[in-house]
């Protein structure tokens, strides 16, 4: 049996994220074509990797039907030009789909079954709204396994506000405004563009090219946020302004063993340290990253103070704030979502986990004083997922100066 080997995040790319629906840039683009474009872009950026040495392809989607169905990892691999000898499969863990693609294939690398693998996710929420066509077992409600609110993500966010009165709407709105501002600044400084793969798009006016995330609203301010209606509850606290928008997009990442890194002359961007998933009450699914992060830290032998960078998925501002309050981290802590998050960029459900990793990897390059970082997210039906990563650029001297 092979000894456990390091799991290395070599590279990650994504399409620009688009607004879901008829007015969105991807309305006339197939979901599988989005992830195929991401995979092709990933392979073009890594020409040292022989296509026939890819051991597996895992692609996640939350609504696995139509152009997001048919064992997506396999079909996407074939469409992206990988040899027919390369297998693939599909994964569903709702919002943590791509994250689970990475941890599943990473586990295979650590075990010695894989040397190279591609992990990612796609969601075309315009074509496939969350839960569309699903038939939840009536026993969920009749036997009170979950409350009626558990299947409505916005209602679960309102419940977190109920549970923690200190987490006010004003705090959520301010966090959302800062997310928009940070993402706009990141674009202005060219931080996000290097990992975007342009996508040809078709509309009534003809062909074009998607090169930017479509949902950003840098003009957002506290006054405008205060006027937005709260659709999940009269006089509630969760609005479209402090939530992630419905989004279309795809991500893809290249994972490798330490042996493959040497064999093909690859440059590691991150090393996987540990990961964990955890369950919570489905009615407050946004609290999921708290126990999953505690679990991942425990498995890694680390504490929250060891983490120098956080990429937390902003499904709702309240979900991130509950995480920060639990761990005693300030709302404006510079370690958290330095380039903004899903409130501005978008959250194409099963694709988002790898977006978090892409941004963390880039920040590791800029921050050699940071040794460990976290990617974490809440998951529908009451789950959380966390991956802890180590910075290969870590410099003890830089850390002492910091």
Cα separation of the two ends of the chain = 42
Q: Are 288 and 378 in contact (CB under 8 A)?
A: yes
Out of 128, 347, 367, 393, pick the active-site residue. Answer: 347
Residue 178 zone, left/alpha/beta (φ > 0; ψ -120 to 50; rest): alpha
Annotate 160-229 with DSSP letters as a single string: HHHH-TTS-HHHHHHHHHHHHHHHHHHHHTTSSGGGB--EEEEETTEEEEE-S-S---TT--HHHHHTS-
Rg (CA), the chain: 20
Among the options 95, 128, 161, 367, which is catalytic?
Answer: 95
**Smallest Cα–Cα separation from 355: which of 317, 320, 387?**
387
Sign (positive or negative) of CA dihedral 221, 222, 227, 229: positive
Q: Is 286 left (phi over 0), alpha (psi -120 to 50) or beta?
A: alpha
Out of 124, 161, 367, 378, pick the active-site residue: 378
Please indicate whether residue 95 is annotated as part of the active site: yes
Residue positions annotated with a catalytic role: 95, 347, 378
């Amino acid at each position: 049996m092979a000894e456990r080997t390091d799991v290395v995040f070599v590279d990650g790319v994504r399409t620009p994220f688009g607004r879901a629906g008829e007015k969105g840039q991807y309305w006339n683009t197939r979901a599988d074509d989005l992830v195929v474009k991401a995979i092709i872009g990933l392979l073009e950026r890594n020409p040292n990797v022989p296509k026939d040495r890819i051991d597996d392809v895992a692609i996640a989607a939350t609504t696995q039907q139509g152009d997001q169905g048919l064992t997506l990892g396999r079909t996407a691999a074939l469409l992206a030009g990988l040899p027919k000898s390369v297998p693939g499969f599909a994964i569903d863990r709702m919002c943590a789909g791509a994250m689970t693609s990475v941890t599943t294939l990473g586990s295979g690398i650590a075990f010695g079954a894989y040397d190279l693998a591609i992990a990612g996710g796609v969601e075309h929420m315009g074509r496939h709204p969350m839960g569309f066509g699903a038939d939840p077992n009536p026993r969920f409600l009749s036997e009170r396994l979950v409350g009626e609110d558990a299947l409505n993500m916005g209602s679960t966010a309102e419940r977190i506000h109920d549970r923690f009165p200190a987490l006010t709407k004003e705090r959520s709105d301010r966090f959302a405004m800062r997310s928009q501002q940070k993402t706009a600044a990141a674009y202005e400084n060219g931080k996000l563009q290097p990992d975007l793969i342009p996508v040809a798009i078709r509309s009534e006016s003809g062909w074009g090219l998607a090169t930017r995330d479509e949902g950003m609203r840098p003009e957002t301010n506290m006054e405008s946020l205060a006027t937005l209606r709260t659709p999940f509850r009269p006089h509630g606290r969760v609005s479209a302004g402090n939530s992630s928008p419905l989004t279309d997009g795809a991500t893809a990442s290249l994972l490798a063993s330490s042996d493959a890194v040497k064999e093909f002359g690859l440059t590691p961007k991150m090393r996987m340290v540990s990961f964990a998933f955890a369950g919570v009450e489905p009615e407050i699914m946004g609290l999921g990253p708290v126990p999953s992060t505690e679990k991942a830290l425990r498995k890694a032998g680390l504490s929250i103070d060891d983490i120098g960078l956080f990429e937390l998925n902003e499904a709702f501002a309240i979900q991130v704030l509950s995480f920060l309050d639990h761990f005693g981290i300030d709302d404006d802590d510079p370690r958290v979502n330095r380039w903004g998050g899903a409130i501005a960029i978008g959250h194409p459900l099963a694709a988002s986990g790898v977006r978090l990793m892409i941004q963390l990897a880039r920040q590791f390059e800029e921050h050699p004083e940071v040794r460990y970082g976290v990617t974490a997210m809440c998951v529908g039906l009451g789950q959380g997922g966390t991956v802890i990563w180590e910075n290969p650029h870590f410099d003890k001297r830089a850390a002492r100066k910091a």
